[in-house]
Structure 1
Amino acid sequence: MALHFHKMHGLGNDFVIVDGREQGVTITPELARDIADRHRGVGCDQLILIEKSNKADVSMRIWNHDGSEVESCGNAARCVVALTGAGTIATPAGVIEGSARGSDIEVSIVEPSFDWQRIPISYAMDTSALPMQWGPLKNGFAVNVGNPHVVFFVDDPDTVNLDQRGPEIENDPVFPERINVHVATVRDDGIHMRSWERGAGLTLACGTGACATAVAAIATKRATSPVEVHMPGGSVTITWEKGEKLLMRGGATHVFEGDLELEHLARCAS
């Protein structure tokens, strides 16, 4: 069986996108891992499946590089809007709205939640300053924007060893569904951040992470809306005020499309 796919990225956060409206396909965690494998598959941070929806123009499902299925992905949402022209996308986290803004794509992200049970965290605590520490990282700000994030404001994100601290925090039992980890600082030109994504590791950009970090910076009065968020792969603009929509605007790039012979993939993976 040949699986038609599109390779796209949002600021270097890359995706294999399969349009299930045009071809019947069942994604399993094993298949997602095989396709995402950068040596034996196509290679990507996340595998995206577009399907029909009775709640929106299309629906979107997301599998991380490790085969785990997750609720939301902001960079992928921009890519799906760019690819399909969809104005609304149903995700497990809720319906995302999207539209073209010149050469950029703007999408609305699920309303932020600061409730410890919705993030989720294992027991009640102040989510704006977590009472725990991992090495030099402390006073994390936890928020759910369709998926769970914790943000640490530091002097210089580039000096933090995210290869070590990222998996340690992601898999801490205090986060029962694991968590995305970000380190950030606010400078005159906006927020500078790096991300360790749950199930994907270090990525060049994290869309929902940029949203979560901007929300944390605005909520703690470190920044004002709108704010530019700079990541290793590029920048997005985040707009948010309490009670208003959370909006993210940035690029979405189509790299190539092709057909993947799943029989050959299975032989390579075995």
Structure 2
Amino acid sequence: MAIKFTKYHGLGNDFILIDNRSSSLPVVTPEQAIKLCDRHFGIGADGVIFALPGENGTDYTMRIFNSDGSEPEMCGNGIRCLAGFLADLEGESRNQDSYRIHTLGGVMTPQLLADGQVKVDMGLPRLLASEIPTTLTPNEEKVISQPLEVAGETWHVTCVNMGNPHCITFVEDVAAIELETIGPKFEHHPAFPQRINTEFIQVVRRDYLKMRVWERGAGITLACGTGACASLVAGVLTGKCDRAATVELPGGPLQIEWSEIDQRVYMTGPAERVFTGKL
């Protein structure tokens, strides 16, 4: 069976997009996704994203397999790429600039802007320990600046669920963090029973953060949209940053706002088509 695909990236966080609108189940298995994401023997990507029929009144459904075959609830850079992909699929028949997309992390609404950027309503951040989930505090308490022992060092972490779980810690210099060593230890720490994405954040100014990320199931990536959103929320909760800021990732900047009006988080950034193919 031949399957058409399109390669997209959001600030270097790259994905294989597949038109899966004719079926409610992904046409590629997790095992096949691992092979497709291999950068030497496959197409190469951080994950495979499927555009499926909408559920519960939404326009479309998004599912994603990470490069290790695991399935996250949501992906911020990925949903921007999906919005661009859907616009390509609809072509001249497209009559809308925003989509309501069902994900395992809730309904997300990306909007295609005139300048080519995509703005996504990422919804409300979830802050209780039971919503992460984590054992760092009692279930109905927030996890803000809690001590966590990792690799013989005490880190103060704040946890935020933005459709998927994040652990954020603020550091003096993100460039000095040995991500490939420390990242897996955070991801598989027993305090996080469903594993965790981890962001290391350097506050340059109250409206400008630098971020490096270890993603659950993907490892080191050039960008993480949900992580950027979670990091701004963590910065506000700890009094380190404003409610709107630029988050600089290795792949480039995202504009993040935690609205004081509706308490929802908004992410704006690029989604770029790289190439199309058939597998």
TM-score (norm 2): 0.89
- Please state how far the C-alpha of 1:219 moved relative to its aligned partner: 1.7
Matched-pair contact (CA < 8 Å) for 2:2–2:278: yes
CA–CA distance in structure 2, aligned partners of residues 219 and 129 of structure 1: 9
Superimposed CA distance per residue, residues 119-151 of structure 1 (whole angstroms, 9 cap, x where no aligned partner): 001363551122322244511111111000001
Matched-pair contact (CA < 8 Å) for 2:259–2:266: no
Superimposed CA distance per residue, residues 91-143 of structure 1 (whole angstroms, 9 cap, x where no aligned partner): 01111011122221000113111111110013635511223222445111111
Aligned residue in 1 for 2:229: 211
SS at match of 1:120: coil
Change (3 A) 1:123 1:158: closer
Aligned residue in 2 for 1:161: 178
Aligned residues: 260
Aligned residue in 2 for 1:263: none
Aligned residue in 2 for 1:92: 104
CA–CA distance in structure 2, aligned partners of residues 73 and 128 of structure 1: 23
- Please state how far the C-alpha of 1:225 moved relative to its aligned partner: 2.2
Aligned residue in 2 for 1:264: none
CA–CA distance in structure 2, aligned partners of residues 133 and 207 of structure 1: 26
Matched, 1:241 2:259: yes
Matched-pair contact (CA < 8 Å) for 1:190–1:227: yes
Superimposed CA distance per residue, residues 212-253 of structure 1 (whole angstroms, 9 cap, x where no aligned partner): 101111222211121000000000000103542210000000
CA–CA distance in structure 1, aligned partners of residues 67 and 29 of structure 2: 12
Aligned residue in 2 for 1:225: 243
In the TM superposition, 1:244-255 aligns within 5 A as 244-255=263-274
CA–CA distance in structure 1, aligned partners of residues 123 and 34 of structure 2: 27
Superimposed CA distance per residue, residues 166-209 of structure 1 (whole angstroms, 9 cap, x where no aligned partner): 00110111101100011011113600010000000000000100
Instruction: Answer with 119-128 or 85-94: which moved more.
Output: 119-128
Change (3 A) 1:137 1:56: farther
Matched, 1:48 2:49: yes
Matched-pair contact (CA < 8 Å) for 1:93–1:110: no
Q: Which amino acid aligns with 1:226?
A: A
CA–CA distance in structure 1, aligned partners of residues 266 and 73 of structure 2: 17
Superimposed CA distance per residue, residues 142-163 of structure 1 (whole angstroms, 9 cap, x where no aligned partner): 1111000001100000101111
In the TM superposition, 1:126-137 aligns within 5 A as 127-135=143-151, 136=153
Q: Which amino acid aligns with 2:13?
A: N
Aligned residue in 2 for 1:124: 137
Matched-pair contact (CA < 8 Å) for 2:22–2:53: no
Of 148, 155, 158, 2:165 maps to 148
Structure 1: state its 5+ residue gaps: 261-270
Of 56, 65, 68, 2:67 maps to 65
Aligned residue in 2 for 1:5: 5
CA–CA distance in structure 2, aligned partners of residues 248 and 258 of structure 1: 29
SS at match of 1:30: helix
CA–CA distance in structure 1, aligned partners of residues 17 and 270 of structure 2: 16
> What's the % identity of the aligned pairs?
40
Aligned residue in 1 for 2:35: 34
Change (3 A) 1:117 1:236: same
Matched-pair contact (CA < 8 Å) for 1:137–1:152: no
Instruction: Answer with 233-242 or 140-149: which moved more.
Output: 233-242
- Please state how far the C-alpha of 1:48 moved relative to its aligned partner: 0.3
CA–CA distance in structure 1, aligned partners of residues 106 and 216 of structure 2: 19
Q: Which amino acid aligns with 1:258?
A: G
Instruction: Answer with 21-30 or 93-102: which moved more.
Output: 21-30
CA–CA distance in structure 2, aligned partners of residues 5 and 137 of structure 1: 44
RMSD, aligned α-carbons: 1.6
Moved over 6 A (4+): none
CA–CA distance in structure 2, aligned partners of residues 241 and 53 of structure 1: 27
